[in-house]
């Protein structure tokens, strides 16, 4: 390939803003000259280099926007440590059909069982698939909405949060959300209902949501929406984080810290005319 043609290719790559392909051009040309690859294979290699670089950049930026600063993967989850989980069912969620169906996935179980890991891993899969994702703890969400309310921007904040394809709400039941927090969260859930998918993690059963949100009426209204089109996955078992230090935990605390009963799903009084809730519950027995 003569110098004039090579120079034109370089200019084209610069004009198309393909820096990785430009960087790999000389090596690729050398492989063609040595008959290591055909011209068609060389084109594929150049485009592949550029595509991989752009995808890596896109995923990195999307993870930052999603607030998924710590990346977790399903391959990194130790299913053998939590035999109560149906591995196939969790992996099926990674196909992301629940996002298309705008379902809500609930991971429920004691601390340390990998609920957040699974939620983040699903968020990571969604980002790779080009879905918009936002991750926050319940306390962070409520605090941001409370601030927006003080500034007269609550409506804009709710609209912003409900525009994502997938909203991940972590640590339900861990920290108090304060007076009015339940009402604020309900406004977000109501905006997201049947418009976007959600993944939630919590360490307390649905029967305790009245205590978490400080109002039985608000808790019922939340569950009315969050258990419609829901996938509920309880996790029974020991804390993964404490597995190497279980012997150091006092005997009277181990039952509460390391084990959990399957969270119950309370009956919900539904408004007339509403369709029956569609709940999938995965419980090993």
Q: What share of the chain is helix, strand, coil (3-state, %, to 5)?
A: 55, 10, 35
DSSP structure string for 9-57: HHHHHHHTT-HHHHHHHHHHHHHHHTTSS-HHHHHHHHHHHHHHHHHHH
State pLDDT tens for residues 43-81: 999 999 999 999 999 999 999 999 998 889 999 998 888
- Which pTM does this prediction carry? 0.79
Domain holding 56, by residue range, is: 3-64
Same structural domain for residues 125 and 43? no
Domain final residue pick, 64, 79, 107: 64
Same structural domain for residues 78 and 180? yes
For the residues 177-181, what does the mean pLDDT come to? 88
Range with the lowest mean pLDDT among 94-103, 195-204, 237-246, 254-263? 254-263
Same structural domain for residues 59 and 72? no
Same structural domain for residues 159 and 198? yes
CB 92 within 8 Å of CB 143: no
Same structural domain for residues 74 and 54? no
How many folded domains does the chain comprise? 2
Higher pLDDT, 185 or 284: 185
Same structural domain for residues 141 and 170? yes
Query: Would you place residue 238 in the very low, low, confident or very high pLDDT band (cuts 50, 70, 90)?
Result: low
State pLDDT tens for residues 265-277: 455 455 555 554 4
Higher pLDDT, 120 or 263: 120
Domain final residue pick, 40, 64, 88: 64
Same structural domain for residues 22 and 81? no
Residue with tokens 């130790």: 78
Query: Would you place residue 253 in the very low, low, confident or very high pLDDT band (cuts 50, 70, 90)?
Result: very low
Same structural domain for residues 258 and 240? yes
Same structural domain for residues 257 and 233? yes
Q: Indicate whether 139 pLDDT > 50.
A: yes
Residue with tokens 């905006």: 191
Strands 197-202 and 104-108: parallel
Same structural domain for residues 16 and 74? no
Same structural domain for residues 8 and 100? no
For the residues 97-121, what does the mean pLDDT come to? 95
CATH number, domain with residue 212: 3.40.50.300
Same structural domain for residues 80 and 157? yes
């Amino acid at each position: 390939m003569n110098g004039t043609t090579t120079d034109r290719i370089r200019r084209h790559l610069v004009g198309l803003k393909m820096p990785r392909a430009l960087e790999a051009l000389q090596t690729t040309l050398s492989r063609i000259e040595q008959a290591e690859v055909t011209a068609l294979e060389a084109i594929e290699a150049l485009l592949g280099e550029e595509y991989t670089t752009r995808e890596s950049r896109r995923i990195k930026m999307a993870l930052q926007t999603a607030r998924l600063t710590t990346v977790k993967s399903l391959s990194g989850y130790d299913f053998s440590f939590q035999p109560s989980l149906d591995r196939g069912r969790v992996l099926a969620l990674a196909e992301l059909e629940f996002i298309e169906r705008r379902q809500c996935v609930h991971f429920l179980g004691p601390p340390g069982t990998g609920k957040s890991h699974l939620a983040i891993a699903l968020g990571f899969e969604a980002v790779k698939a080009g879905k918009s994702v936002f991750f926050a703890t319940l306390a962070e969400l409520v605090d941001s909405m409370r601030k927006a309310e003080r500034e007269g921007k609550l409506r804009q904040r709710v609209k912003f949060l409900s525009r994502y394809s997938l909203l991940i709400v972590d640590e339900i039941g861990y920290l108090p959300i304060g007076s009015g927090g339940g009402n604020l969260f309900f406004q977000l859930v109501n905006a997201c209902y049947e418009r976007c998918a959600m993944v939630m993690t919590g360490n307390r059963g649905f029967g305790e949501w009245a205590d978490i949100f400080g109002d039985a009426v608000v808790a019922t209204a939340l569950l009315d929406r969050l258990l419609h089109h829901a996938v509920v996955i309880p996790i029974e078992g020991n804390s993964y984080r404490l597995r190497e230090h279980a012997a150091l935990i006092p005997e009277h605390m181990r039952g509460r810290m390391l084990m959990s009963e399957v969270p119950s799903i309370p009956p919900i009084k539904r408004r007339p005319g509403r369709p029956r809730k569609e709940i999938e519950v995965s419980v090993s027995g």
